[in-house]
Amino acid sequence: MNVCVLHNNVAPGAGPDEQDVLVQAAEISETLKRLGHAVCRVAADLDCAQVLSTIRRTQPAVVFNLVESLAGSDALIHVYPALLEAVGIPFTGSSAAALFLTSDKLIAKRLMACAVIPTPAHIDLNDPLACVSAPGTCIIKSATEHASAGLEADCVVEIGSTADAAAARRKFAQRFRSGRFFVEAFIAGREFNLSILDGPGGPEVLAPAEIMFTNFGDRPAIVGYSAKWSESSPEYINTQRSFAFGDTDLTLLESLKAAALACWREFSLRGYARVDFRVDAHNRPWVLEINANPCLSIDAGFMAAAGQSGYAPEAVIERILHAAVLKQEAVS
């Protein structure tokens, strides 16, 4: 079938986090061709009418949606899915609503709290009346930016009072691409990624992955910007993915899977997703964020988990396409 691979336009000179979508678009296009599909690639920008007419000219049976941001803002991630829904063109992955609700971490955390999905306590730094009720070690995070943009070791801070929160508000005012950011309780324990793939029997949780931090010394163990994107940095070299677990982890892995599936259901996710967790000293999992459109490049966490579960990239892409077509059949 005709598949239009839609990705965000990347400005020349953009950082590796933004360039990454081009790697995904190239890899997925090749995989789709190997599967026998006819592929066109379209770059999306803020000229929505022009982009939509280019998409239409490709006469797509499905759009493979890889748009992660528009005009450098991750807060616009849902715009093309909303337009495609409005004009009735099927597309892969989650709906516009699910992308919006998950990619705004403050909204996602409120919804998780309502659904009794554990997520660390937080203070909204944009709320001038925000006050500190439980002092301790915290992390400063963007509400809408992803891929650890702006996140480094100095984002882990002690917040003991409302004055500390105000100082953090001033210090980090220019740090993140979008101005909205918040303080979240820092969970000092292990880190896990749970990937989920749609399938004939419903969502399937793929092999859980643990991020192993080594040689971090006194630095906070986090997957910040350097750990994700600066290949020669100590943070990158010393954060390795592992799929090896002993029997003592079985109960924890079950609770991680249950929480990941609860996120899938609560946010009506579709196609594929990845949920990031930390686990505290009492072995309790806490959801850090829900990625409704996680990176699909071969070396990223989702495809690694799929490979570990016995799925080649071709099988993953076919399943994601199938979920998009099924969804369209259900609404028409």
Ligand X SMILES: Nc1ncnc2c1ncn2[C@@H]1O[C@H](COP(=O)(O)OP(=O)(O)O)[C@@H](O)[C@H]1O
Contact footprint for Mg ion (CB under 5 A):
276
User: How far apart are CB 146 and ligand X at their closest, in Å?
Assistant: 4
**CA atoms of 304 and 311, how far apart (whole Å):** 9
Using CB positions, name the residue nearest to Mg ion.
Answer: 276
In this complex, which beta carbon is closest to Mg ion, that of residue 80 or of residue 277? 277
In this complex, which beta carbon is closest to ligand X, that of residue 146 or of residue 319? 146
State the sign of the Cα–Cα–Cα–Cα dihedral 139, 175, 47, 38: negative
Pairing of strands 136-142, 190-197: unpaired
3-state SS string for 149-177? CCCCHHHEEEECCHHHHHHHHHHCCCCCC
Using CB under 6 A, list all residues that contact ligand X: 120, 139, 141, 146-148, 151, 184-187, 191, 222-223, 276, 278, 288-289
**CA atoms of 306 and 193, how far apart (whole Å):** 12
Question: Choosing among ligand X, Mg ion, none, which partner's interface includes residue 198 (Cβ < 5 to 8 Å by kind)?
Answer: none
User: How far apart are CB 236 and Mg ion at their closest, in Å?
Assistant: 15
User: How far apart are CB 35 and ligand X at their closest, in Å?
Assistant: 30
In this complex, which beta carbon is closest to ligand X, that of residue 39 or of residue 187? 187
* Run of H or E including 205: strand 204-205
In this complex, which beta carbon is closest to Mg ion, that of residue 76 or of residue 147? 147
Question: Choosing among ligand X, Mg ion, none, which partner's interface includes residue 287 (Cβ < 5 to 8 Å by kind)?
Answer: none
User: How far apart are CB 186 and ligand X at their closest, in Å?
Assistant: 4
Reference 216, options 229, 230, 233, 228; nearest CA is 233
Helix 79-87 with 48-57: angle, nearest 10 deg: 50
In this complex, which beta carbon is closest to Mg ion, that of residue 7 or of residue 105? 105
